[in-house]
């Protein structure tokens, strides 16, 4: 059965036929776009008019997120910025530490079991001036319950006195670089870095791998995707144990599951040879809406956490260079094995030194296994410089840049982490495109909120939270940004033959918009209203908030 959708405007991303008014769909796939007359040749059809006043785009592709974005919504959101939850409720940003604490207090008041801890997420004290959040602040939320709040970056946890006590940290003589002490010689409650967080995290409800996802989280994540126009999303680093794969296959296989999840197996707790074998096994276990078989390698840490590996002259504030999360030996073995067995690799590098090592290793592996179209992709690549983009192009690689970072941490990058010059060329989308490097841009949700149109807005405007334009030379056009969040991201996942544009033969995946992203002012791109999605011909309106 054929359905022809009429729309106000269809932005196809197919340069041969960039716009249309109608799209014909059969069996979840696209027969063609054009006028109704052009599409009549496919035979009997039903005309679907509900999108007559809407804009259709290819379903948006989030090339780097974590399904744990769905998991976090069971905790209390206390971020500085407004954020929409899976049900569509907008959580207003907390304008002060006091406001954040009030929200945690309310969450505690709603709990019946007096032993339950209160967990919050998304705290961003950089917006509250010099003042740090302390255990005394969180004690106002509760003194009897353990209270913990994860920062937006995911790298710092603030806890109350009770949580410190339960963690065995409410004592003098604690000697750890990630645990500042107050004037009383006791920890202030700020726990910086995964190691410092670990003793307290289980006591405040963060007792699991923070990037892991469970069934409820996956369902919440899917709801968010519908709200953001996303029909394909990469789940960038899982360990994919067999029971998680079984759960994901079951849930994504349900008739009304609205997203195609591409889940990558991380090089962790497995040697490179076994990882390649596991990737081949996983690829065979892929389903229509669960794509497996790509591997992820994390090469270094984060820039705002000062754990990224930077080339000379290093961090602007003089912090020591960051950490390697993999040895060159493991990296070389994984890359060579992947090329030999046709497995795709996505590699996280934030610092330019980590990128340089990766490029050296890819170059070496390619000399041994000259594979065409491997599409090995650099994830984040925030400090990739012009010379590195030229190498990336020559090596046949792609980049997926972290454009959202400008908005959330751009001011800190300018003043503290890398200084003005490098901050202005971070996530250099324009240089990537100028060098012909295949480009995607991403949110890394839950690190920043899921929302490819917001990500596109970041790449187009490069505004920081304080309103500074951070590197006007690296701004890209709206058309280029829209391509990056559709075909661009699809290309990095080797899904560009299936999704990413609205054209004959591809999946009937659409983002259904109320406003036209090509006619709104570029500075309002993030405000384009989203009605919902169509995924494989199934219609998913974003329900109004309860």
Partner 1 sequence: MSHGAAPADGRIPVTVVGGYLGAGKTTLVNHLLRNAEGRRIAVLVNDFGELPIDADLIESQAGEVIGIAGGCVCCSFGSDLMGALARIARAEPAPEHVLVEASGVGLPGSVARSIALVPLFRIDSVAVLADCETVRSRAADTYMGDTITRQLAEADLVIANKADLVSPGGLAELHAWLARSAPQARVVEAIRGAVPPAVLFDDHAPASLRGAGRGLLIGAIAPQGDAAARYESASFTVRHRVDAAALARALTSPGCGVLRAKGVVRDLDGSGSVLHVVGARTETGPHAGSEAGSNPAGIACIGLRGRLDRDAIARAIAASRDPVNTAKNT
The span from the CA of 259 to the CA of 266, in Å, is 21
Query: Per rule CB under 8 A, is residue 270 in the interface with partner 1?
Result: yes
The span from the CA of 470 to the CA of 226, in Å, is 31
Identify which range of 262-270, 382-390, 473-481, 510-518 contacts partner 1 by CB under 8 A: 262-270
Min CB(219)–partner 1 separation in Å = 25
Half-sphere exposure of 490 (CA within 13 A, CB side): 24
Query: Per rule CB under 8 A, is residue 460 in the interface with partner 1?
Result: no
The span from the CA of 488 to the CA of 399, in Å, is 9
Query: Per rule CB under 8 A, is residue 321 in the interface with partner 1?
Result: yes
Query: Per rule CB under 8 A, is residue 123 in the interface with partner 1?
Result: no
Q: Which two tokens stand for residue 271?
A: 């040697």
The span from the CA of 142 to the CA of 161, in Å, is 9
| Cβ contacts of 243 within 8 Å, gap of 6 or more | none
Neighbours of 523 (CB within 10 A): 11
Please check whether residue 297 is in contact with residue 345, taking contact to mean a CB–CB distance below 8 angstroms. yes
Identify which range of 20-28, 57-65, 194-202, 415-423 contacts partner 1 by CB under 8 A: 194-202
Query: Per rule CB under 8 A, is residue 209 in the interface with partner 1?
Result: yes
Query: Per rule CB under 8 A, is residue 478 in the interface with partner 1?
Result: no
Min CB(358)–partner 1 separation in Å = 10
Per CB under 8 A, the list member of 70, 154, 199, 537 interacting with partner 1 is 199
Of 223 and 309, the one with the shorter C-beta distance to partner 1 is 309
Q: Which letter, b or e, does each residue of 342-375 get, where b requires 16 or more Cβ atoms within 10 Å of its Cβ?
A: ebbbbbbbbbbbbbbbbbebbeebbeeeebeebb
- Report the sign of the C-alpha dihedral through residues 251, 257, 258, 260, in that order: positive
Identify which range of 190-198, 386-394, 407-415, 444-452 contacts partner 1 by CB under 8 A: 190-198
Query: Per rule CB under 8 A, is residue 88 in the interface with partner 1?
Result: no
| Helix-, strand-, coil-residue percentages of the chain, each rounded to 5 | 35, 25, 45
Per CB under 8 A, the list member of 18, 93, 180, 194 interacting with partner 1 is 194
Per CB under 8 A, the list member of 3, 99, 174, 395 interacting with partner 1 is 174
Min CB(276)–partner 1 separation in Å = 13
Query: Per rule CB under 8 A, is residue 91 in the interface with partner 1?
Result: no
Query: Per rule CB under 8 A, is residue 329 in the interface with partner 1?
Result: yes
Query: Per rule CB under 8 A, is residue 269 in the interface with partner 1?
Result: yes
Per CB under 8 A, the list member of 198, 386, 387, 394 interacting with partner 1 is 198
Residue 72 φ then ψ, to 5°? -65, -25
Q: Which residues pair with 77 in a beta bridge?
A: 121
Per CB under 8 A, the list member of 73, 324, 408, 457 interacting with partner 1 is 324
Burial label, 15 (beta-carbon count in 10 A; 0-12, 13-18, 19+): exposed
Min CB(446)–partner 1 separation in Å = 17
Identify which range of 72-80, 287-295, 327-335, 413-421 contacts partner 1 by CB under 8 A: 327-335
Please check whether residue 543 is in contact with residue 222, taking contact to mean a CB–CB distance below 8 angstroms. no
Query: Per rule CB under 8 A, is residue 202 in the interface with partner 1?
Result: yes
Q: Which two tokens stand for residue 406?
A: 């400008």
Instruction: Report which secondary-structure segment, H or E, holds 480.
Output: helix 478-483
Q: Which residues pair with 377 in a beta bridge?
A: 346, 398
The span from the CA of 21 to the CA of 385, in Å, is 41
Of 13 and 310, the one with the shorter C-beta distance to partner 1 is 310
Min CB(495)–partner 1 separation in Å = 29
Window 291 to 320, contacts with partner 1 (CB under 8 A)? 309
Min CB(171)–partner 1 separation in Å = 8
The count of chain residues that interact with partner 1, using the rule CB under 8 A, is 34
Query: Per rule CB under 8 A, is residue 387 in the interface with partner 1?
Result: no
The span from the CA of 273 to the CA of 541, in Å, is 44
Min CB(189)–partner 1 separation in Å = 14
Min CB(526)–partner 1 separation in Å = 34
Binding site for partner 1 (CB under 8 A): 168-169, 171, 174-177, 179, 194-196, 198-199, 202, 209, 268-272, 274, 309, 321, 323-330, 353, 356-357
């Amino acid at each position: 059965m054929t359905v022809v959708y009429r729309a106000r405007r269809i932005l196809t991303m197919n340069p041969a036929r960039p716009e249309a008014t109608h799209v014909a769909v059969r069996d979840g796939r696209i027969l063609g776009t054009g006028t109704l007359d052009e599409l009549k040749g496919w035979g009997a059809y039903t005309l679907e008019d509900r999108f007559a006043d809407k804009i259709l785009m290819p379903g948006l592709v989030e090339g780097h997120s974590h399904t744990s974005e769905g998991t976090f919504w069971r905790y209390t959101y206390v971020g500085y910025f407004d954020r929409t939850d899976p049900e569509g409720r907008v959580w207003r940003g907390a304008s002060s530490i006091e406001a954040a604490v009030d929200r945690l207090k309310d969450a505690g008041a709603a709990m019946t079991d007096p032993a339950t801890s209160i967990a919050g997420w998304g705290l961003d004290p950089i917006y509250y001036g010099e003042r740090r959040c302390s255990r005394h602040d969180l004690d106002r939320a509760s003194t009897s319950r353990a209270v913990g709040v994860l920062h937006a970056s995911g790298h710092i946890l603030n806890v109350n006195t009770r949580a410190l006590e339960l963690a065995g940290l409410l004592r003098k003589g604690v000697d750890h670089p990630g645990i500042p002490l107050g004037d009383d010689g006791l920890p202030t409650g700020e726990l910086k870095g995964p190691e410092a967080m670990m003793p307290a995290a289980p006591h405040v409800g963060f007792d699991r791998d923070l990037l892991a996802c469970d069934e409820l989280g996956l369902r919440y994540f899917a709801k968010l995707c519908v709200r953001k126009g996303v029909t394909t999303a990469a789940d960038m680093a899982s360990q994919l144990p067999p029971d998680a794969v079984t759960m994901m296959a079951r849930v994504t296989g349900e008739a009304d599951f609205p997203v195609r999840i591409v889940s990558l197996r991380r090089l962790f707790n497995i040697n490179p040879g076994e990882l390649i074998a596991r990737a081949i096994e996983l690829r065979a276990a892929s389903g229509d809406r669960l794509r497996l078989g790509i591997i992820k390698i994390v090469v270094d840490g984060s820039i705002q956490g000062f754990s990224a590996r930077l080339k000379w002259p290093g961090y602007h504030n003089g912090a020591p260079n960051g950490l390697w999360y993999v040895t060159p030996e493991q990296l070389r073995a994984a890359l060579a094995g992947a090329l030999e067995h046709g497995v795709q690799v996505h590699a996280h590098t934030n610092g330019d030194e980590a990128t340089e090592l990766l490029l050296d290793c890819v170059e070496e592996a390619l000399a041994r296994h000259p594979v065409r179209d491997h599409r090995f992709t650099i994830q984040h690549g925030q400090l990739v410089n012009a010379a590195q983009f030229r190498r990336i192009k020559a090596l046949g690689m792609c980049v997926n840049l972290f454009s959202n970072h400008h908005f959330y941490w751009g001011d800190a990058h300018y003043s503290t982490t890398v200084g003005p010059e490098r901050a202005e060329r971070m996530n250099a989308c324009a240089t990537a495109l100028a060098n012909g490097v295949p480009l995607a841009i991403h949110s890394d949700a839950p690190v920043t909120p899921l929302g490819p149109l917001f990500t596109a807005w970041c790449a187009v405007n490069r505004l920081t939270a304080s309103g500074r334009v951070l590197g006007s030379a690296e701004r890209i056009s709206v058309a280029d940004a829209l391509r990056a969040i559709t075909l661009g991201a699809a290309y990095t996942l080797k899904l560009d033959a299936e999704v990413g544009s609205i054209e004959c033969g591809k999946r009937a995946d659409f983002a259904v918009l109320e406003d036209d992203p090509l006619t709104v002012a570029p500075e309002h791109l993030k405000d384009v209203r989203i009605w919902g999605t169509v995924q494989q011909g199934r219609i998913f309106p974003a329900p109004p908030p309860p």
